[in-house]
Amino acid sequence: QFSFQENGWGASLAERLVRKCDVVNRGLSGYNTRWAKLILPRLISRSTGAESTVAVTIFFGANDSALKDLNPKQHVPLEEYAANLKSMIQYLKSVDITEDRIILITPPPLQESAWEKECLAKGDKLNRRNATTGEYAQACVQVARDCGTDVLDLWTLMQKNQDFSSYLSDGLHLSTKGNSFLAAQLWSRLEKKLSALPSLLPYWRDVDHTNPEASLL
C-alpha cells in the first residue's frame, strides 16, 4: 500500500512507465497471504484482461512471519504461507497470466532493535524476528523455483555485505533508500519484458498539427 507514497517503489515504476502502461497498486497494509488468497479473484479476474497484463508482483511475508504468540492476528504458519503463494500463482495461471509474468518478492530483512522501539511505544513486545522472516523468505524463493516464476529475494540482497538498517524506516517498512533499492532491482527484471512495449500515443512533436486525426486516430 505504501509503495505509491512519495518516493515509493510503485510510484517510481509508474513514473518510468507513464507512456507505456499503467501500474496498478493493490497492496493492502497489514494483510497476509491468508487474506490475500481470498480477495485475489476480486482484484484480478479474467475480465481484467490477461492479454494486456505485462507483469504481476506478489509481495508478502513480513506480516505472515509475525510471531504467533505475540501477533496471532497477522501470523500465518510457514507451510501455509508457501501453500498460499502457490495458490495465488495457480489462480493467476487460471486467468491466463502465465508464470513468466509473475514475480514473487520476499519480505525484506527486519532490523530488530528499531522495530522493537516501535512495538514498545505501543505497549507491545518485539513481535517479529529477522531469522524467522528469513525462513519465510527462503520459502518464497522455493515456491518460485517450484512454480517457475521469477523471484526477487529482498531479504538476502539487502543483507549482502552491508548494514541494511538504512533500507528501513522503522525496522520493518521500507525507507526512501529501501524503496529505491526495490525499484531498481525490480526494474532490472521488468526492463526486458517492457522494452518492446510501444508508447501509448505519439510524442507531441510528432503529431501533425494540421491534421491531428492522422497522428492520433
Residue 98: pLDDT over 70: yes
Q: How confident is the model at residue 72 (pLDDT cuts 50, 70, 90)?
A: very high
Rounded average pLDDT over 45-60: 86
Complete DSSP assignment for 76-104? --HHHHHHHHHHHHHHHHHTT--GGGEEE
Q: How confident is the model at residue 106 (pLDDT cuts 50, 70, 90)?
A: very high
CA–CA distance, 71 with 64 (Å, rounded to integer): 10
Query: Which of 123, 3, 136 has the alpha carbon at shortest distance from 66?
Result: 136
Rounded average pLDDT over 104-108: 98
Please tell me the CATH code under which domain 2-215 is placed: 3.40.50.1110
Residue 49: pLDDT over 70: no
Contact 143, 87 (CB under 8 A): no
115, three cell numbers: 522495530
Query: Across 85-89, 97-101, 163-167, which has the greatest mean pLDDT?
Result: 85-89
Q: How confident is the model at residue 193 (pLDDT cuts 50, 70, 90)?
A: confident
Rounded average pLDDT over 181-192: 92
